[in-house]
Amino acid sequence: MNRQKIADIIDRQSHTDRIGTAYDWFMVLAILVSLLPLMFMKPHKVFWYTELGSALVFIIDYLLRWGTADIRHNNRKTAFLTYPFSFMAIIDLLSILPAVTLLNPALKLFRFVRLLRLMRVLKMFGISSKMRLFLSILRKERQVLSSVLVLALLYIFATALILFNVEPHVNPYTGQQTFHSFFDALYWATVTLTTVGYGDMCPVTDVGRFVSMLSSLFGIAVIALPSGVITACYLDELRKRRGR
Amino acid sequence: MNRQKIADIIDRQSHTDRIGTAYDWFMVLAILVSLLPLMFMKPHKVFWYTELGSALVFIIDYLLRWGTADIRHNNRKTAFLTYPFSFMAIIDLLSILPAVTLLNPALKLFRFVRLLRLMRVLKMFGISSKMRLFLSILRKERQVLSSVLVLALLYIFATALILFNVEPHVNPYTGQQTFHSFFDALYWATVTLTTVGYGDMCPVTDVGRFVSMLSSLFGIAVIALPSGVITACYLDELRKRRGR
Amino acid sequence: MNRQKIADIIDRQSHTDRIGTAYDWFMVLAILVSLLPLMFMKPHKVFWYTELGSALVFIIDYLLRWGTADIRHNNRKTAFLTYPFSFMAIIDLLSILPAVTLLNPALKLFRFVRLLRLMRVLKMFGISSKMRLFLSILRKERQVLSSVLVLALLYIFATALILFNVEPHVNPYTGQQTFHSFFDALYWATVTLTTVGYGDMCPVTDVGRFVSMLSSLFGIAVIALPSGVITACYLDELRKRRGR
Amino acid sequence: MNRQKIADIIDRQSHTDRIGTAYDWFMVLAILVSLLPLMFMKPHKVFWYTELGSALVFIIDYLLRWGTADIRHNNRKTAFLTYPFSFMAIIDLLSILPAVTLLNPALKLFRFVRLLRLMRVLKMFGISSKMRLFLSILRKERQVLSSVLVLALLYIFATALILFNVEPHVNPYTGQQTFHSFFDALYWATVTLTTVGYGDMCPVTDVGRFVSMLSSLFGIAVIALPSGVITACYLDELRKRRGR
């Protein structure tokens, strides 16, 4: 098996490449296995082996990618030097790290870096190409959409400030503390505006309830405006492609 | 009453057929009656009779459909042999089963199969023809919509992983256990992203709350993107039909 | 003041009619005052007077409308006979009833009929003419929209049936009873599908949580589909009017 | 530094003006610092200094704006007299007030006026120009949108009235009081219609639950209608601009 073939498998271009597809699915499996210890409450003996196995797969994948870096980047020989400093290569390296320090539980949270490897999955399912359409819409309408976002954030900030000063910090009915800091008020204001409404913090004063009512009504506009902009732009895009 | 007439009643084609419509409504009633034991907490004597009655109706319906299978499938005589293995025929048979074992409560949950009979109701109200329009839109935009779905699922997975490791598994304020497994975290992440927000699990740490805030804001995009795609496509469809 | 003038004031046609507008606002006030006893927990002495006052206004309004019935209905003399049996006249009469029996608290709930008088308010603000546009859209797309509604209702029914049989009827964490009847399950299923999510009933089993997750994701489609249909149809309507 | 230059910095017209941009960001910082005491639960010694500092910045800003009033308003000399009575000038003056009375905590809530200064931030980010597009849409469709709003408010009023009289004022399961006044019922009805659903007030009677179910289903229409109107109008606007 020559290096060209390995490069083709790793950077699968078409959907008909069976070995490339199998390799991609195998990597998805390795990522899921490597995240297993994060999905259970108590450490388990078997995780030592899953960690070792997934780490080995990641190391081999890293070496294969490094070894074919020149082929995958237009045969530039300098790719061997620049590849380890590319964004994805650093992520790959960081995702191996927690396995090296198996005995040190402090590095447990470092495993979250492996979530970033899921970006490869996006590419695999051909989603990255579809997302480019959405990203082009977002870019074209970035001024309008960012205006809505800044407005929403300013509104959340103002609402949080009012609620934080108007509402009692201890719920008089349940005796539980609601606010611990201004950040909690921001959390509340966001949860209300987006119509999630957990209910762990509820307004108990009349002013607070009035502000919440305004927020929830305003929240409809916050959903309607970006929906409208995205719809209009997507429809436009559909027409253009047909016009060609 | 000859077999052709029975086939017409069972497979009613037009809205003007009165006997066919009556037969359809009668079947809806039989399905509802057969589901009655699932709608009450305690077993009741009367359910023995409803079970018997609905089972009899289902058996007769099954036999009538089998007996007219050739007429309803372009007069192919082989339809008598293939019909019992068709999807709807198997469902019909399974929905009779729980009645046969009236004395065995273990088969109680088997009654859920009868819910699938409601698909006949869809056909009856002419909904299946309207749904075909939506399904054609979904098929046409399946790549974009499935991309949004995979993205949403990956986002739910990543959020759940972070929340599961960041949040305490026992709510410090109420003393109740929140997470029992990673599945609970997935449930929480879904409930937040879709802006349902039950409130049985609430973030209590600052990191968890920040992740929830991002989720709820991102949830607006998850609602806006498919809405936009469906709207644009539906509008397109409307124009085309007029163009004809 | 002749009868023609009274008819003009009661059935105000233009926004420039000052006395007609004043009369409309006065009636809104009378409706609000007549609903006052429903807005307070404890009966109050003053309500005796508000009840009397609003009832008098309603009686006079009723008599004025009856007395000018012929003028307001193309000078048909028979209008005097048919008017008391028209829908709005019956509502007007029913809204006077609770005042007649001031001493009987059993008729308190009869006051809700007065809410129907708010329909006059819709006409007053010119909303009824705007609603006609929406109603024409709803009528034009009634087959598609009713299909979505029936689908949603069938989905709520199926979800409720599953949750009712899978979930324990007493919350194991809080010890509170959740379900009292199948109706409660229907309530829960609706609250989940529409992404309200009160949290008074929460799934505690894995199957129940999985069903809730599916419901909340499906809920996005239930919001997106009618939004799309209404948007497409409204846009179409806008174009047509411009084309004229 | 002459007065013309100061006027240019304060009323920055282009994005290339570096000193003007720096001045804007400095003012945003000053507003945030001036709001600091509202973001903490307990008074702190350091707030005395932040209050003094931000007040000084506001005073200088106020004087600079007053001193260049003629230049910024077409060289009208009378601008010196009229400027202090303009809307923004009054807001600026009111936002200085709380600092003057540092020792009087009763004026603490007066600091909320400073939130209005955030309107300057909107202008700074160029949002006010983007908002004008949305406002023109809202103005064009104001009759339709206000009709939806009035309908929603009437619906909230009617729902609140029914719930207030049907539901018990003390939750029979938790023993907590739910309603204290009719305003609480209005709050509940709004929270349900907008699909926020905190869960601090939940229907416990069958009638109340039925009303809530209707509300949550109706809430979808309340989201879908304005979304549709805004989308259709925005799309129209996009076409027009291209047509030019």
D174, D213, D225 member nearest C190 (Cβ): D213
**Cα–Cα dist B217/C40, whole Å:** 38
Say if the Cβ atoms of A228 and D238 lie within 8 Å.
no
The mean pLDDT of B215-232, rounded to a whole number, is 83
Residues of D in contact with B231 (CB under 8 A): 231
**Cα–Cα dist C95/C119, whole Å:** 13
- For every one of its 244 residues, what pLDDT tens digit does chain A have, with 9 covering 90 and above? 578 888 888 777 666 678 888 888 888 888 888 888 888 878 778 888 888 888 899 899 999 988 888 887 777 788 888 888 888 888 888 888 777 665 565 666 677 778 887 777 677 666 767 777 778 888 888 888 888 888 888 889 999 998 888 888 777 777 777 778 899 899 999 999 988 888 888 888 888 899 999 988 888 888 888 888 888 888 777 777 766 5
User: How far does A132 lie from chain D, in Å, by closest CA?
Assistant: 22
Give the Cα-Cα-Cα angle B235, B237, B238 (nearest 5 degrees): 65
A143, A209, A224 member nearest D227 (Cβ): A224
Predicted confidence at residue B86, as pLDDT, reads 86
Cβ atoms B113, B93 nearer than 8 A: no
Say if the Cβ atoms of D224 and C234 lie within 8 Å.
no
B154, B174, B199 member nearest A199 (Cβ): B199
- Enter the tokens of residue A100: 């090296």
Say if the Cβ atoms of A200 and B199 lie within 8 Å.
yes
- D174 interfaces chain B, CB cutoff of 8 Å: no
Q: Residue B133: name the closest of D227, C214, C156, C229 by CA.
A: C229
Residues of D in contact with A243 (CB under 8 A): none
**Cα–Cα dist C8/C72, whole Å:** 8
Q: Which residue has the tokens 């124009």?
A: B239
Reported as a single tens digit per residue, the pLDDT across C72-118 is 777 778 888 888 888 888 888 888 877 766 555 566 667 777 888 77
Percent of chain C scoring above 70 in pLDDT: 89
Q: Residue B117: name the closest of D2, C180, C154, C109 by CA.
A: C154
Mean pLDDT of chain B: 81
Instruction: Kindly state the helix (H) or strand (E) to which residue B161 belongs, with its residue range.
Output: helix B142-166
Reported as a single tens digit per residue, the pLDDT across D149-181 is 888 898 899 999 888 888 887 777 777 777 788
- Number of Cβ atoms within 10 Å of the Cβ of B152: 21
User: How far does B143 lie from chain A, in Å, by closest CA?
Assistant: 7
Predicted confidence at residue B109, as pLDDT, reads 64
- Number of Cβ atoms within 10 Å of the Cβ of A235: 23
pTM of the predicted structure, to 2 decimals: 0.87
Reported as a single tens digit per residue, the pLDDT across A127-167 is 767 777 778 888 888 888 888 888 888 889 999 998 888 88
Name the closest residue on chain A to residue D109, using Cα atoms.
A165
Q: Residue A108: name the closest of A26, A32, A34 by CA.
A: A34
Residues of A in contact with D131 (CB under 8 A): 147, 151
Give the Cα-Cα-Cα angle C79, C81, C84 (nearest 5 degrees): 95
**Cα–Cα dist D108/D32, whole Å:** 15
Predicted confidence at residue B117, as pLDDT, reads 79
Q: Is B67 a residue whose pLDDT tops 80?
A: yes
Predicted confidence at residue C186, as pLDDT, reads 93
Name the closest residue on chain D to residue C41, using Cα atoms.
D181
Picking from D227, D230, D239 by the largest number of B CB atoms within 10 A of its own CB, the best residue to mutate is D227
Cβ atoms A177, B173 nearer than 8 A: yes
Looking at per-residue pLDDT, the higher value among B235 and D60 belongs to: D60
Cβ atoms A69, A83 nearer than 8 A: yes
Predicted confidence at residue B13, as pLDDT, reads 66
Cβ atoms C81, C66 nearer than 8 A: no
User: Which residues of C, range 194-233, sit inside 8 Å of A by Cβ?
Assistant: 195, 197-199, 227, 231
Chains near B, with 3+ CB pairs < 8 A? A, C, D
Contacts of A161-164 spanning 24+ positions with Cβ under 8 A: A161/A185, A161/D35, A161/D38, A161/D39, A161/D112, A161/D115, A162/A207, A162/A211, A162/D112, A163/A188, A163/A189, A163/A203, A163/A208, A163/A211, A163/A212, A164/D38, A164/D39
Looking at per-residue pLDDT, the higher value among C111 and B158 belongs to: B158
Name the closest residue on chain A to residue D183, using Cα atoms.
A206
- Enter the tokens of residue C65: 């409308």
Say if the Cβ atoms of A199 and B197 lie within 8 Å.
yes
Predicted confidence at residue A183, as pLDDT, reads 92
Residues of B in contact with C175 (CB under 8 A): none
**Under DSSP, is residue B177 helix (H, G, I), strand (E, B) or coil?**
strand
Q: Residue B53: name the closest of B67, B66, B34 by CA.
A: B34
Instruction: Kindly state the helix (H) or strand (E) to which residue C136 belongs, with its residue range.
Output: helix C127-140
C–D interface: beta-carbon pairs under 8 A? 117
D158, D165, D199 member nearest C198 (Cβ): D199
Chains near C, with 3+ CB pairs < 8 A? A, B, D
Beta-carbon contacts of C169 under 8 Å, excluding residues fewer than 6 positions away, are B41, C177, C178, C179, C180
Picking from C182, C194, C201 by the largest number of D CB atoms within 10 A of its own CB, the best residue to mutate is C194
Reported as a single tens digit per residue, the pLDDT across C141-179 is 888 888 888 888 988 999 999 888 888 877 777 777 777
Chains near A, with 3+ CB pairs < 8 A? B, C, D
Q: Is B23 a residue whose pLDDT tops 90?
A: no
Say if the Cβ atoms of C143 and B125 lie within 8 Å.
no
Reported as a single tens digit per residue, the pLDDT across B108-148 is 667 777 888 777 767 766 676 777 777 888 888 888 888 88
D127, D177, D200 member nearest A202 (Cβ): D200
- For every one of its 244 residues, what pLDDT tens digit does chain D have, with 9 covering 90 and above? 578 888 888 777 666 678 888 888 888 888 888 888 888 878 778 888 888 888 889 899 999 888 888 887 777 788 888 888 888 888 888 888 777 665 555 666 677 778 887 777 677 666 767 777 778 888 888 888 888 888 889 889 999 988 888 888 777 777 777 778 899 899 999 989 988 888 888 888 888 899 999 988 888 888 888 888 888 888 877 777 776 5
Q: Which amino acid is at D130?
A: K
Beta-carbon contacts of C47 under 8 Å, excluding residues fewer than 6 positions away, are C36, C37, C40
Mean pLDDT of chain D: 81
Predicted confidence at residue D100, as pLDDT, reads 66
